[in-house]
Amino acid sequence: MTRIGIESAFEVLVKARALEKQGRSVIHLEIGEPDFPTPANVVEAGQRALGQGWTKYGPTQGDPELREVIAAYISRTRGIQVGPERVCVVPGGKPIMFFTMMALLEPGDEVVYPNPGFPIYESMINFLGATPVPIPLIEERGFSFDLNTFEARLSDRTKMVILVSPANPTGGLVPAEDIRRLAELLRHRDVIVLSDEIYSRIIYDGDPVSIASFEGMLDKTIILDGFSKTYSMTGWRLGYGVMPTWIAEAVVKLMVNSNSCTASATQRAGIEALTGPQDAVTAMVAEFRLRRDAIVHGLNQIPGFRCALPAGAFYAFPNVSGTGMPSKELADLLLYEAGVACLNGGAFGAHGEGYIRFSYANSLANIQEALSRIQKASERWARSVSS
């Protein structure tokens, strides 16, 4: 247990709630969940399912109808051909990480993964005794990586490569050409790619590209996706992986030893989410775009902050090295002095130091208020430095 990590978003949320209990006002830009309600048609489908008796255990691998729907959806959106035998439905996107890494990794195996990145990747690599091989993400490349560095980090011991695009915490996108070249590098290697595509529907410029769609990659790739972000369903706990059947068999075993199955009525709601009208998703992404433009513009007005325009997800990841403060200190100051909850970039790995993550899954009015609070706080710290 000393090797397993945590996710700081949940920690900061607890601190922010404690401040609110003391009567302080806090704007929440820390937690990565859409602030929109789950679309009404999806809620109704869930309620209907409960009324119809979808209240019992179901198949461990997932509701067969939902698995069909997911296989068709992934085939259509990724330009590949997959059947339901490759689909495992689990309670959220995270369990796909947990189960597939647990199934595949052993001490001595190397895992190449993005840094800064979603903290659970590194946590699980360390927990399982595998060797973390971080790939630095580069601000000037839209927070993608350098392919030569990537190639240099691959070795005979590389068992898994983790990709995420669009990414948390940077909002960055891996360019399609880089994914193609990466596929060429990996095609003949004995590696598995864990491709975290949970933000694939939240892209502002360009289309999602899955490494699974390149020649020879389908049987090496685990696509991780789910309902949390796209359909504002974080609390329903519904996600899935699409993977080679030999890995699916391992995931089913781990599921039967842990959850037995994913909640039955939740899965019926998932069928409606994927097959029903998609206008709530379109409206959500349009609103996120407005907020992205507002927060990036506002952050760039603050002395010491430099913020690139994220291409996807709902995170802004400004470089704050110009403030002269370590990012943990700055994140604490913003929470305790300005009442703006955000995350220290260093919590996403060593290469996140010097950055702060703001989730802009909050109203435009709250984002404007947060920006004005940060601006005022920055005037105070500028005065204290000069005096």
Does 234 sit near ligand PMP (CB under 6 A)? yes
Task: Output 110 or 196, the one with its CB closest to ligand PMP.
Answer: 196
Does 198 sit near ligand PMP (CB under 6 A)? yes
Give me the least distance between CB of 118 and ligand PMP, in Å please.
Answer: 4
Task: Output 196 or 272, the one with its CB closest to ligand PMP.
Answer: 196
Task: Output 242 or 333, the one with its CB closest to ligand PMP.
Answer: 242
Which of 99, 118, 305, 381 binds ligand PMP (CB under 6 A)? It is: 118
Which of 34, 39, 93, 241 binds ligand PMP (CB under 6 A)? It is: 93
Strand partners, 136: 115
Question: How many CB atoms within 10 Å of residue 297?
Answer: 12
Does 223 sit near ligand PMP (CB under 6 A)? no
Q: Which residues of 133-172 are buried (b: 16+ CB within 10 A; e: fewer)?
A: bbbbbebeebbbbebeebeebbeeebbbbbbbbbbbbbbb
Report the site for ligand PMP in 29-48 (rule: CB under 6 A): 32
Does 354 sit near ligand PMP (CB under 6 A)? no
237 and 204 Cβ atoms separated by less than 8 Å: no
Q: Which two tokens stand for residue 134?
A: 């971080």
Which of 213, 228, 319, 327 binds ligand PMP (CB under 6 A)? It is: 228
206 and 311 Cβ atoms separated by less than 8 Å: yes
Does 164 sit near ligand PMP (CB under 6 A)? yes
Q: Tell me the C-alpha distance between 120 and 128, whole Å.
A: 12
Q: Tell me the C-alpha distance between 121 and 98, whole Å.
A: 9
Does 240 sit near ligand PMP (CB under 6 A)? no
Task: Output 33 or 68, the one with its CB closest to ligand PMP.
Answer: 33
Give me the least distance between CB of 386 and ligand PMP, in Å please.
Answer: 39
Give me the least distance between CB of 244 and ligand PMP, in Å please.
Answer: 20
Instruction: Single out the segment in contact with ligand PMP by CB under 6 A; choices: 89-97, 295-303, 338-346, 365-373.
Output: 89-97
Count of residues engaged in binding ligand PMP, rule: CB under 6 A: 13
Which of 168, 170, 266, 378 binds ligand PMP (CB under 6 A)? It is: 168
DSSP letter assigned to residue 381: H
119 and 5 Cβ atoms separated by less than 8 Å: yes
Residue type, 342: C
Q: Tell me the C-alpha distance between 254 and 100, whole Å.
A: 9
Task: Output 228 or 378, the one with its CB closest to ligand PMP.
Answer: 228
Give me the least distance between CB of 52 and ligand PMP, in Å please.
Answer: 25
Report the site for ligand PMP in 289-348 (rule: CB under 6 A): none
Does 222 sit near ligand PMP (CB under 6 A)? no
Q: Which two tokens stand for residue 350?
A: 């060593």
Q: Tell me the C-alpha distance between 344 and 327, whole Å.
A: 5
Strand partners, 192: 160
Q: What are the φ/ψ torsions at residue 147 (nearest 5 degrees)?
A: -65, -35
Using only the alpha carbons of the chain, give its radius of gyration: 21
Q: Which two tokens stand for residue 176?
A: 């399609």
Residues forming contacts to ligand PMP in the complex (CB under 6 A) are 32, 92-94, 118, 164, 168, 196, 198, 226, 228, 234, 239
